[in-house]
């Protein structure tokens, strides 16, 4: 790697930033000089959120107190915020509700999916789960299978079509893999599961807000996802649950709380679920987090997800190019597919000493994360990551791994 090549990459980064139609969005976030490539774990803070949360606390809670459930729209916030998320995941109105954690929504969705399948055919007794899934999904799928009298069948997503049959009740899949960043074929896999007479649940944690998702178009049955990654809702912000409209009357929740009752304030001893997606709720919503999320969603106004996807692919392509230029050959290996159709919005680099390398990167002002046993993970959030950030991240990584490049605070040349 020679100095002219570095100059070339920096000029290219500047030109790409100058031509970036989303570049102005960056100003809507609270950022500093750090290169932040961890928005696939915790999205950055949108600048309007702090003021909105202060207003909720001081005026709505402090001033109006109990009246806010009605007057400030707290009671209906799970559906209202669901309507804001719906267009980001390709869902028409009335199908998304925001509540609880992703883990809890995975549980509701998988059990409800099995119950739907078994209502049609009691012989269906298998739950297929993505074998490489984020651990919580696997743990919950196993428990949901046990509770519904099913056998758990772990499988690589590509192998799922071959495993489907008359015994399949439900299939839980990730749209993008949390570790490798591999994007799975939502259209093809959904069609295969439905053709087998089973129900599919998609986990959108690593795609919602990073690329267009088309739940209605692909005929997805159920979906869940978190809001603190690419949707920037804040630490622990509540998750969402999508229940396709025609399935809502058949959604038999394993957690039938009073908030999902058709008449919550009737305080009736018998449970009668709400007619619509409200039946996905459980108990009292986490209002502070939910309203922080609602404010955070303002950054999506006027944003085209096709533009987001185009920038995400350009950023990840450019990162791979810069890594190839700055990092000594053989020192890292990308485990993220090169094909655009198979790539989410992150790059995962296998690196034998990843556990030691990531803290050095963070100390040098480049924040990604480490995933056991040997992965350096870099998330690219198109609303606030620039091409200059991308070039710098690769250059700092190159320096740390003994190639050409700066070492950040340990040997800085240009901060
Ligand atoms: C694919 C996936 N599912 C679920 C979760 C977590 O869910 P929860 O918000 O309940 O911790 C994560 C990340 O934390 C994830 O990456
Ligand atoms: N939810 C997280 C948390 O509470 C703390 C730290 C990280 C997370 C994450 O979201 C991890 C993330 N799902 C992952 O893909 O690894």
Write a three-state SS string for 157-219.
HHHHHHHCCCCEEEEEEECECCCCCEECCHHHHHHHHHHCCCEEEEECCCCECCECCCHHHHC
Q: Is the pLDDT of residue 413 over 70?
A: no
Using CB distances shorter than 6 Å, the residues near ligand 2 are 41, 134, 178, 205
- If pLDDT is split at 50, 70 and 90, which confidence band does 6 have? confident
| Of 228, 220, 190, 217, nearest in space to 103 by CA | 228
Which of the following is catalytic: 29, 228, 230, 370?
228
Arithmetic mean of pLDDT, 230-252? 98
Q: Delineate the domains of the chain, giving CATH numbers in brackets.
A: 3-30+303-410 (3.90.1150.10), 51-300 (3.40.640.10)
Q: pTM for the complete prediction?
A: 0.96
The response to whether residue 226 sits with its C-beta less than 6 Å from ligand 1 reads yes
Q: What is the pLDDT of residues 47-106, one digit of tens each?
A: 999 999 999 999 999 999 999 999 999 999 999 999 999 999 999 999 999 999 999 999
- Say which residues have a Cβ less than 8 Å from residue 87's Cβ, sequence separation at least 6: none
Q: What percent of the chain has pLDDT over 90?
A: 95
Catalytic site residue 301? no
- Ligand 1 pocket, 145 CB below 6 A? no
136 close to ligand 1 (CB < 6 Angstrom):
yes
User: Quick one: average pLDDT of 221-225?
Assistant: 98
Total Cβ atoms within 10 A of residue 236: 14
- Summarize the confidence of residues 282-307 as an average pLDDT: 98
Ligand 1 probe mutation, 40, 98, 103, most atoms within 8 A of CB: 103
**First-residue to last-residue Cα distance in the chain:** 20
Instruction: Determine the Cα–Cα distance for residues 138 and 150; give it in Å rounded to an integer.
Output: 14
Q: Phi and psi at residue 2, in whole multiples of 5°? A: -110, 160
Residue labelled with tokens 């320096």: 399
Could you tell me the two tokens for 104?
Answer: 């809890």
Copy the structure tokens of residue 325.
């230029």
- Does any ligand 1 atom lie closer than 6 A to the CB of residue 101? yes
Q: Please check the confidence at residue 410 and state whether its pLDDT lies above 50.
A: no
- Tokens coding 230: 């690419």
């Amino acid at each position: 790697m020679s100095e002219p090549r570095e100059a070339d990459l920096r000029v290219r980064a500047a030109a790409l930033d100058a031509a970036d139609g989303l570049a102005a969005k960056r100003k809507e976030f609270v950022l500093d000089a750090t290169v932040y490539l961890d928005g696939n774990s915790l999205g950055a803070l949108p600048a309007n959120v702090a003021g909105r949360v202060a207003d909720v606390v001081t005026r709505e809670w402090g001033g109006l107190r109990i009246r806010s459930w009605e007057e400030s729209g707290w009671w209906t916030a799970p559906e209202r915020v669901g309507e804001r998320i719906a267009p980001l995941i390709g869902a028409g109105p009335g199908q998304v509700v925001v509540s609880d954690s992703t883990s809890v929504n995975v549980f509701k969705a998988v059990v409800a999916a099995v119950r739907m399948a078994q209502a049609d055919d009691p012989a269906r007794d298998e739950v297929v789960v993505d074998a490489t899934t984020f651990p919580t999904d696997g743990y919950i799928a196993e428990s949901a299978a046990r509770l519904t009298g099913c056998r758990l069948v772990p499988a690589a997503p590509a192998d799922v079509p071959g495993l489907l049959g008359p015994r399949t009740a439900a299939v839980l899949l990730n749209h993008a893999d949390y570790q490798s960043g591999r994007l799975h074929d939502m259209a093809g896999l959904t069609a295969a599961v439905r053709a087998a007479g089973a129900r599919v649940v998609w986990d959108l944690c690593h795609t919602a807000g990073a690329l267009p998702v088309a739940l209605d178009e692909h005929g997805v049955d159920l979906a869940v996802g978190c809001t603190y990654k690419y949707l920037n809702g804040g630490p622990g912000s509540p998750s969402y649950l999508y229940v396709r409209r025609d399935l809502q009357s058949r959604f038999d929740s394993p957690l039938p709380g009073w908030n999902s009752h058709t008449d919550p304030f009737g305080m009736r001893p018998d449970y009668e679920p709400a007619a619509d997606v409200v039946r996905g709720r459980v108990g009292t919503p986490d209002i502070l987090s939910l309203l922080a999320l609602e404010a955070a969603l303002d950054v999506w106004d006027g944003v085209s997800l096709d533009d987001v996807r185009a920038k995400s692919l350009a950023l990840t392509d450019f990162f791979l190019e810069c890594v190839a230029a700055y990092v000594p050959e053989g020192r890292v290996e990308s485990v993220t597919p090169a094909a655009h159709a198979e790539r989410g919005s992150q790059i995962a680099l296998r690196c034998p000493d990843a556990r030691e390398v990531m803290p050095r990167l963070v100390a040098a002002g480049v924040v990604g994360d480490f995933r056991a046993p040997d992965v350096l993970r870099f998330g690219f959030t198109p609303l606030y990551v620039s091409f200059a950030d991308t070039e710098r991240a690769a250059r700092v990584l190159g320096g740390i791994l003994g190639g050409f490049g700066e070492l950040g605070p340990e040997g800085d040349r240009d901060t």
